[in-house]
Chains A and B, each alone.
Chain A
Amino acid sequence: MLERVAGRISPRRAYVGNEFCQSLIPAPEHLSRICRTLWKSGVNITFLTPPVTDEGLDRLRILFTWLVRQKHAVEVVFNDWGTLELLHQEFEKLDPVRGRLLNKILRDPRVTPLYNSPTAPDGIRAALQPGSLDTPFLRRLLSRYRVRSVESDVLALGPDADFRRLSFAVSFYFPYGFVTTGRQCMMGSLRLKNGGRFQPGLSCQRECRLYLTEHRFSGTTLETKGTAFYQRGNTFFYCPPPDVLDSFLERAEKNGVSRVVYEPGLPM
């Protein structure tokens, strides 16, 4: 689908890291090995960061310190305002990008197709607009912190959606979007004893690399019955239906989408 619209795909940028789970922050040697390989191939790097505790922020600081010493420009996607504060105070050379977790648009496929239908009331459809990006308040705040790009999941863009009028470049992850996430990981609890399961900050064996769970919305008369969710690690994802993906790609350029981040498999 992507190649039909965009032609032969030749990636110029790779996304490294993880934006959902602090346990998946890469080790310094792992990150440097990946980065060096990609830079040798002429590929630019965007480094993804998750919501973090103070301990996670300390680990990120080590990685930022290494990244900032390299001769390549690096984007850092922040999904935590503390990470932005750290970048702003100590790592001015790294380009901050607001991540999709901070783009607070309703992403609940049980209802969004209904809320987005032409017959839905205006007030409901308005709730699916791209957040408060086009308010002067957020513009001022983000520009104070040198944020020039923001990211989102694929939305059902209307014909009048125009991201060019925003002061930011807008990137979209394709095709999977996230629905919900948290620190109490189901699969990461697999090898833990009962009392220690589902606790924030648990010590996992990265079971998210081995298993996922597929859930289908049932027990409803809504037309969204059967919608699939994929639980991988601490996060639930969805894949928009083919017609929405198709229409998104067809309109992406016209709507002013600056980048499509292609993830062939479920993130994590």
Chain B
Amino acid sequence: MKILAPLNSPEETQMLLANGAEELYCGLVPEEWVARNTGAVWLNRRSPAGGNLRSFFDLARVVEEAHAWSVPVFVTLNAQGYTAGQLPQVLELARRYVEEARIDALIVSDPALIVALAEESLGCALHLSSIAASLNARAIRFFRSLGIRRVILPRSVTLEEIRQMACSAGPEVELEVFILNDGCIFEEGNCLTTHHHSVGAFCTGLARMDSRPVKISGSPWLPGEKESVDALLEEFHQRINMLTNADATQGKGLPGPCGLCAIPFLQRAGISSLKIVGREASALRKLMSLKLVRAVVDQVRREIPEAAVQHYAQSLRGGASPCVPGRMCYYELGETA
């Protein structure tokens, strides 16, 4: 089970490699993409300005350094879909990532792009982004038949669902799961909104909208009924804030929601890779996140008993209070007991 870390600058490469990253991923949005499509149409799931490298030279630097440590580099081309007009440009970029920068895998989501890349035989692996929202073993089989080697499971799957999918998928396909930072209240692959700065993310913006609960029958509210729906809405907003790590984006830079205490379970389930989220985060947050995950993975590798590892993982997050299920947790451990 490897630790996969994000980056958005070649200056971060050495820091991540020296602190235990075993796989790296990043995006690259070259000027020609922005010139043709504007900054509002994203080549991958992160803003061209904040979450991406900007040149092939930078990408080649990252890959060269990582390969010197025998660490592979994966590059995202995981917009939810590309139009017929965009696809030739995306294919050309994919070719250049592989041929000029020697990347190891592309992270993709659009079935049309996957078919096109498989036909190109580019000589790099294809990883299925969580954006493809593969929630079941048959979906994994479907994408495997298109040439996918690794599937990144969506954030919304439970541990038991992960175990079942890992069991059914077999050794032919690798599974990667989210382990730290930046949750999402919606299924990212089925959320067709923009995160563009002109409007911000739809989910975090909800708290600023004028909202009004409606009783569908049209009958009058019973005493306390509307108050409980209002309270639920307020709690929903708080849940979104916790998941999206609103504190971190306000400058505190702390790692966000996590599944650290589930790492022993994920190891047993045969998961291949643990993904740390946050390409656009500061170098400091990336380093803190990597150290957190590495510390727990090291315990698992030393075969420390599972309960002790879970306790240790929770202690790393400052005790039990942030670990209340439904708040800062990706996964609910209770289901595995």
Q: Is A199 an interface residue (CB 8 A)?
A: yes
Q: Which chain B residues border A105 with CB–CB below 8 Å?
A: 81, 192
* Interface range for A: 35 or more
In contact, B115 and A129 (Cβ under 8 angstroms): no
Q: Which chain A residues border B140 with CB–CB below 8 Å?
A: 82
In contact, A182 and B83 (Cβ under 8 angstroms): no
Q: Is B58 an interface residue (CB 8 A)?
A: no
Q: Which chain A residues border B41 with CB–CB below 8 Å?
A: 123-124, 126-127
Query: Which listed residue, B165, B209, B229, touches A211 by the CB 8 Å rule?
Result: B229
In contact, A222 and B190 (Cβ under 8 angstroms): no
In contact, A106 and B213 (Cβ under 8 angstroms): no
- The stretch from A66-74, A212-220, A247-255 touching chain B is A212-220
Report A51-99 residues with CB < 8 Å from chain B CB.
51-57, 80-86
State in angstroms the CA–CA spacing of A39 and B81 once bound together: 37
Q: Which chain B residues border A101 with CB–CB below 8 Å?
A: 190
Q: Which chain A residues border B224 with CB–CB below 8 Å?
A: none
In contact, A111 and B190 (Cβ under 8 angstroms): no
In contact, A182 and B206 (Cβ under 8 angstroms): no
In contact, A53 and B136 (Cβ under 8 angstroms): yes
In contact, A57 and B216 (Cβ under 8 angstroms): no
Report B16-38 residues with CB < 8 Å from chain A CB.
36-38
Q: Mark B196-236, 1 if CB is under 8 A from A, else 0.
A: 10110011011011111111110000000000110011011
Q: Is A201 an interface residue (CB 8 A)?
A: yes
Q: Is A44 an interface residue (CB 8 A)?
A: no
**What is the minimal beta-carbon distance from A83 to any residue of chain B, in angstroms?**
8
A123-B41, A127-B37 given; A200·B157 CB < 8 A: yes
Q: Which chain B residues border A214 with CB–CB below 8 Å?
A: 211-214
State in angstroms the CA–CA spacing of A189 and B214 once bound together: 16
State in angstroms the CA–CA spacing of A56 and B165 once bound together: 13
Q: Which chain A residues border B232 with CB–CB below 8 Å?
A: 186-187, 189-190, 197
In contact, B139 and A85 (Cβ under 8 angstroms): yes
Instruction: Give how many B residues have a beta carbon under 8 Å from the other chain's beta carbons.
Output: 77
Q: Is B112 an interface residue (CB 8 A)?
A: yes
In contact, B233 and A213 (Cβ under 8 angstroms): yes
In contact, A108 and B199 (Cβ under 8 angstroms): yes
In contact, B161 and A53 (Cβ under 8 angstroms): yes
Query: Which listed residue, A138, A181, A199, touches B115 by the CB 8 Å rule?
Result: A138
Q: Is A132 an interface residue (CB 8 A)?
A: yes
Query: Which listed residue, A180, A212, A216, touches B186 by the CB 8 Å rule?
Result: A180
**What is the minimal beta-carbon distance from A100 to any residue of chain B, in angstroms?**
10
**What is the minimal beta-carbon distance from A98 to any residue of chain B, in angstroms?**
10
Q: Is A1 an interface residue (CB 8 A)?
A: no
**What is the minimal beta-carbon distance from B178 to any residue of chain A, in angstroms?**
13
**What is the minimal beta-carbon distance from A226 to any residue of chain B, in angstroms?**
9
Report A103-158 residues with CB < 8 Å from chain B CB.
103-108, 110-111, 115, 121, 123-124, 126-127, 129, 131-135, 137-138, 140-141
Q: Which chain B residues border A140 with CB–CB below 8 Å?
A: 115
Residue of B nearest to A268 (CB): B216
Q: Is B106 an interface residue (CB 8 A)?
A: no
Q: Which chain A residues border B216 with CB–CB below 8 Å?
A: 209-212
In contact, B209 and A216 (Cβ under 8 angstroms): yes
**What is the minimal beta-carbon distance from A118 to any residue of chain B, in angstroms?**
15
Q: Which chain B residues border A183 with CB–CB below 8 Å?
A: 156, 187
Q: Which chain B residues border A134 with CB–CB below 8 Å?
A: 84
Q: Is A179 an interface residue (CB 8 A)?
A: yes
Give B contacts to A, CB under 8 Å. Answer: 36-38, 40-41, 80-87, 110-113, 115-116, 119, 132-143, 146, 156-158, 161, 164-165, 168, 184-187, 190-194, 196, 198-199, 202-203, 205-206, 208-217, 228-229, 232-233, 235-236, 239, 324-326, 332
Question: Which 8 pairs of residues, A with B, have the shortest CB-CB distance?
Answer: A104-B81, A82-B139, A82-B138, A182-B186, A104-B80, A123-B37, A132-B112, A180-B191
13 A-B residue pairs with Cβ-Cβ distance under 8 Å, sorted by A, are A80-B136, A81-B139, A81-B143, A103-B81, A104-B80, A132-B87, A179-B191, A181-B191, A182-B187, A186-B236, A211-B214, A211-B216, A219-B208
